[in-house]
Chain A
Amino acid sequence: MMYDFLVDLFGNSTAASIIAGTIQSILPLFAFILPFALFAVYLERKVSAHMQDRLGPMRTGWHGWKQTIADILKLIQKEDIVAKDNDKLLFNLAPIIVFAGSYAAFAAIPFTSIFIGTEVDLGIFYIIAVTGIVVAGILMAGWASNNKYSLLGSMRSVAQIISYEIPTILVALSLVMISGSMSLHTLSEQQTGYAWNWYIFGGPGTELSKFLLIPFMFTGFLIIYISTLAEVNRTPFDIPEAESELVSGYHTEYSGMKFAMFFLAEYANMFAVSAIVVALFLGGYQSPVGYLGDLFNAPWLIPIEQFTWFTIKGIFFVFVQMWLRWTLPRLRVDQLMAASWKYLIPIAFVNLIIIGLITLL
């Protein structure tokens, strides 16, 4: 939709389509991720503060809402230290790759029914592949900063992300099996109607198989939520930047704008991951209680509503990630691996098989 509009705007040549394509993919970044990241950093400070009986930032503006802007400005004017014996190329490349990985995932996330970054049929497959790049970025960061701690930190985080991608894929697979298509867009379309049509409650339709699915969809939801937590390095899996041992893992040596890139990438990733979970299980941009647009038959209102519903659900899950961060202690590396290989993956497999049998009914 956006794309065709832009192409004929620029005169239908191949150059126009390239420009239109790039604009369309850049648009979600400026329109959504940057403001979201600013808001998420502020939200994290306030949530953690009030959970710990503190007040959080109060100085900058009413209840400190300008705090994140102040942070970004501070980080921009901070000196960008590159140590003498760092591997210059990799050192500068790493934050870009990490940010690119998490930002690219936004292209395939369905914000509303009519607007979607790029209409990709292999939605889920593309997102999981793209978030894999982040691993390479982290490894580069760890190696390039030429410091024992960063090296240890990056190796650990690589092992962690890889071993937690498997349960995510398995659960996504089980969902693709039910819905028949990989594209997140169609997945969200299938979950129309009220809340009980969502996949977490067994998906559309009213046959027996829907009710049989409910318990397994719920375990699938839990597994994918836990494993995406690990992929984003959030507690209880934040070993890479475990302050107490490795002094903040792979981004110890970074400062200034490069550190801001890592920081931004983390929050963008947080939303991307919770957006995937919402798109898969909680009906993407579908509203649980029907649309106002239908009531006042104003079709132009529906996409806006869909966008708000999507962001509300996304932010709720980002809040739950923060909530977990300020409640749970951290797992040790081997326990983390054990959790993935001994608990999440076998249960995900069993879940997959049972869901497969139920869909055959």
Chain B
Amino acid sequence: MKEYFGNIYSALATIFIGMKITFKHMFVPSVTIQYPEVKPQLPERERNRLYVNMDDCIGCDQCSRACPVSCIEIETTKSLPGEDLGKTSNGKKKALWVTNFTIDFAKCCYCQLCVFPCPTECIYMTDVYEFSEWERNKLVYDFATLTPEERQQKRDNLAKFNAEKEAEKLKAASEPKPEIKKDQPEEK
């Protein structure tokens, strides 16, 4: 019998305790913010969309090697000996034309593994998080600064330069032995 009334008492008591708590929360200010009008302010180490500052990029391919999902594609063409490609911000001389630098943000997992190995710190994460698209291929961002014709022109120069070098080597190999010594210095 005692246990019977004990059940009733404990049921009612705990229910009233619970109700007291929820009623107290009626007057606690709510924590939700109205998103589109009130934007949450994000900390400065926020990891959202990547940004590549192309004039610092020397095309060393470190970031695409570090990426676990390999969503960074870089294509570089060697510059001809005479060309000057300018310096990066910390003074390193650039040697490669970056003819193609795309990051596929549909595949990127925002793990920041690419930011650390970059020697010139040209790839870093911004706090932009509203970049959704309708088509998936729209999420492939191309960061290379050369226009398509320039890229093609760079590739042609390289191909022409290689072809010349090939021809010289062929010519040098076909002539008799003494010629070899003379060719060496000129080729650099």
Please name all residues of chain A whose beta carbon is closer than 8 Å to the beta carbon of B170 when the two chains form the complex: none
Whole-angstrom distance from the CB of B34 to the nearest CB of chain A? 6
Given contacts A323-B23, A326-B22, whether A55 and B15 have CB atoms under 8 Å apart is: no
Check if A58 sits within 8 Å of B18, measured CB to CB. Answer: no
Check if B22 sits within 8 Å of A327, measured CB to CB. Answer: yes
Check if A53 sits within 8 Å of B18, measured CB to CB. Answer: no
Whole-angstrom distance from the CB of A318 to the nearest CB of chain B? 15
Among the listed stretches B25-33, B50-58, B130-138, B143-151, which one makes contact with chain A, having 4 or more residues with CB under 8 Å of it?
B25-33
Question: Most chain-B Cβ atoms within 10 A of its Cβ — which of A326, A327, A328?
Answer: A327
Check if A53 sits within 8 Å of B25, measured CB to CB. Answer: yes
A353, B15: Cα distance in complex, Å: 28
B42 is an interface residue with CB less than 8 A from chain A: no
The residue that A53 contacts in the complex, of B8, B15, B19, B31, with Cβ under 8 A, is B31
Please name all residues of chain B whose beta carbon is closer than 8 Å to the beta carbon of A324 when the two chains form the complex: 15, 19
A325-340, CB < 8 A from B: 326-328
Whole-angstrom distance from the CB of B26 to the nearest CB of chain A? 5
A50, B28: Cα distance in complex, Å: 8
Q: Provide 23 A-B residue pairs closer than 8 Å at the C-beta atoms, listed in order of the A residue.
A: A50-B26, A50-B30, A51-B23, A52-B25, A53-B25, A53-B28, A53-B30, A53-B32, A54-B30, A55-B30, A55-B32, A55-B34, A58-B34, A323-B22, A323-B23, A326-B22, A327-B15, A327-B19, A327-B21, A327-B22, A328-B15, A343-B7, A343-B8
In this complex, how many residues of chain A approach chain B with their Cβ under 8 Å: the count is 15
A47, B26: Cα distance in complex, Å: 8
Given contacts A58-B34, A343-B8, whether A51 and B25 have CB atoms under 8 Å apart is: yes
A280-309, CB < 8 A from B: none
Check if B19 sits within 8 Å of A323, measured CB to CB. Answer: yes
Residue of A at shortest CB range from B34? A58
Could you list 11 further interchain pairs (A-B, Cβ under 8 angstroms) beyond the known A51-B25, A55-B30, A323-B22? A50-B26, A53-B31, A53-B32, A54-B31, A323-B19, A326-B22, A327-B15, A327-B18, A327-B22, A328-B15, A343-B7
Question: Most chain-A Cβ atoms within 10 A of its Cβ — which of B22, B31, B32?
Answer: B22
Check if B22 sits within 8 Å of A51, measured CB to CB. Answer: yes
Please name all residues of chain B whose beta carbon is closer than 8 Å to the beta carbon of A58 when the two chains form the complex: 34
Residue of B at shortest CB range from A320? B19
Check if B30 sits within 8 Å of A328, measured CB to CB. Answer: no
Please name all residues of chain A whose beta carbon is closer than 8 Å to the beta carbon of B8 when the two chains form the complex: 343
B9-27, CB < 8 A from A: 15, 18-19, 21-23, 25-26
A49 is an interface residue with CB less than 8 A from chain B: yes
Check if B15 sits within 8 Å of A50, measured CB to CB. Answer: no
B51-93, CB < 8 A from A: none
Please name all residues of chain B whose beta carbon is closer than 8 Å to the beta carbon of A328 when the two chains form the complex: 15, 18
Whole-angstrom distance from the CB of A6 to the nearest CB of chain B? 44
A55, B31: Cα distance in complex, Å: 8
Lowest 4 CB-CB distances: which A-B pairs, in order? A327-B18, A327-B22, A51-B22, A53-B30
Check if B19 sits within 8 Å of A50, measured CB to CB. Answer: no
Whole-angstrom distance from the CB of B35 to the nearest CB of chain A? 11
Please name all residues of chain A whose beta carbon is closer than 8 Å to the beta carbon of B21 when the two chains form the complex: 327
Whole-angstrom distance from the CB of A9 to the nearest CB of chain B? 48
A102, B22: Cα distance in complex, Å: 30
Contact with B along A50-67 (1 / 0, CB 8 A): 111111001000000000
Question: Most chain-B Cβ atoms within 10 A of its Cβ — which of A49, A51, A55, A328?
Answer: A51
